Amino acid sequence: TGALGGWVADHLVSTRAASLLQVRKVMTALGMAGPALLLPVFGATHSLAAAIAVLCALLGFATVNLSGVLANHLDIAPHNVGEMQGITNTVATVPGMASVAITGYLLHHFESWSAVFAMCAAVEA
């Protein structure tokens, strides 16, 4: 779905169906809203098949974000994409490290993964 999202984004821009800024915003919104809506559903599933289906849909939406946020590096600094990726990925790693402790805290106090997925959905939204 990441490649499909890129193709759709390119098609919308090349056919002038939407401006580059509009396409970036729509792809980012889809890439973040989809997982935000599906994370609580994933936390509430009780069957393996349903969990796999929801997780596949969730990750499918998340890859659409590549055509929004990550492509912005090319728009902002086309000659310094590597540096931009390095800086933004470094900054984005900090919440990932903190989330381990937060997840442990939520699991300890609520004894449920639903609380963890709800927190993730809130952050994603």
pTM: 0.74
Residues 117 and 43: their CA atoms lie apart, in Å, by 6
Amino acid letter, residue 92: A
Contact in structure between 75 and 24 (CB atoms under 8 Å): yes
pLDDT by residue (tens digit) across 48-97? 999 999 999 999 999 998 888 888 888 888 999 999 989 998 998 998 89
pLDDT by residue (tens digit) across 9-41? 999 999 999 999 999 999 999 999 999 999 989
